[in-house]
Every structure is written in C-alpha cells, then in structure tokens.
C-alpha cells in the first residue's frame, strides 16, 4: 500500500528537481560565452547552489522511493510464540500495576494543598 502523502511529496520533489534543469543550463551557457570576468563568480556561485539543491532533491527522491519499496507506511506485526506473547502481556500488566502507584509531583502537591485547606 502506498501513502498518498508520500506520493504527493515525490511528485513535488520531482517537479522541483526538473524545474532546476533549465536555469542550470542557462547558467552554463552564460559561463561559456564571452562575458566580463567579474560576472563569473556570482554565476558560478548560483550554479553551485542550484547543483547542490538538485543533488539533494535526487537523494531525497531516492530515499523516499526506497522507503516506499520498504513498504511505508505499513509496519508489519512480528510473529512470536504464544508463550512469549503471554509472558510479555503479563510483564506489561505488572508494569501498569506498578505505574498506577505513582502520581506526578504536581498532583501530589495539589492534593496536599487541598488536604491542608480542608483541615483549616
């Protein structure tokens, strides 16, 4: 099963990647023609920026494709023996029982304040 959110993000990222091709080509063209030397550094800087952005988009698309191939968003349940499952359920019940023996410090302080008011 695919995720609509993942599919939409992949489309958006692919579109953003593709939209960089034309300005990158234009910058390469500008760098290839006879222009004053002082214009080269900003052109190169922006071409480097766009190239890095495109590389990051390509990596993000590849990572999301791998995530989808891994079955995202589904996380399968792991099969274990019924004996181990019962043991874990018992441990969980005991842990919940222990946790119910505690309150937060705020709750304890409020309860103490209420008790002191009732005694007054």
Share of the chain above pLDDT 70, in %: 96
| pTM of the complete model | 0.69
Checking if the pLDDT of 110 tops 90, the result is no
Structure-token pair, residue 18: 């593709």
pLDDT for 5: 93
pLDDT digits (tens, 9 = 90+) for 43-82: 999 999 999 999 999 999 999 999 999 999 999 999 999 9
Q: Among the residues of 1-120, which ranges form H helices?
A: 4-32, 40-69, 82-99, 105-119
Find out whether 5 and 64 touch, Cβ atoms under 8 Å: no
Find out whether 20 and 49 touch, Cβ atoms under 8 Å: no
d(Cα 35, Cα 30) in Å, to the nearest integer? 8
Q: Could you tell me the end-to-end alpha-carbon distance of the chain, in angstroms, rounded to an integer? A: 64
Q: Which of 1-10, 18-27, 52-61 has the lowest mean pLDDT?
A: 1-10
* Domain locations along the chain: 4-69, 82-119
d(Cα 103, Cα 94) in Å, to the nearest integer? 17
């Amino acid at each position: 099963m695919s995720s609509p959110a993942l599919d939409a993000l992949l489309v958006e990222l692919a579109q953003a990647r593709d939209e960089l091709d034309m300005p990158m080509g234009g910058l390469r063209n500008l760098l290839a023609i006879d222009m004053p030397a002082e214009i080269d550094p900003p052109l190169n800087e922006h071409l480097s920026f766009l190239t890095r952005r495109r590389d990051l988009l390509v990596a993000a698309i590849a990572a999301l494709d791998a995530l989808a191939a891994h079955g995202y968003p589904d996380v399968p349940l792991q099969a274990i023996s019924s004996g181990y499952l019962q043991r874990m359920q018992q441990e969980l019940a005991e842990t919940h029982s222990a946790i119910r023996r505690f309150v937060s410090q705020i709750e304890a302080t409020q309860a103490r304040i209420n008790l002191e008011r009732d005694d007054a």
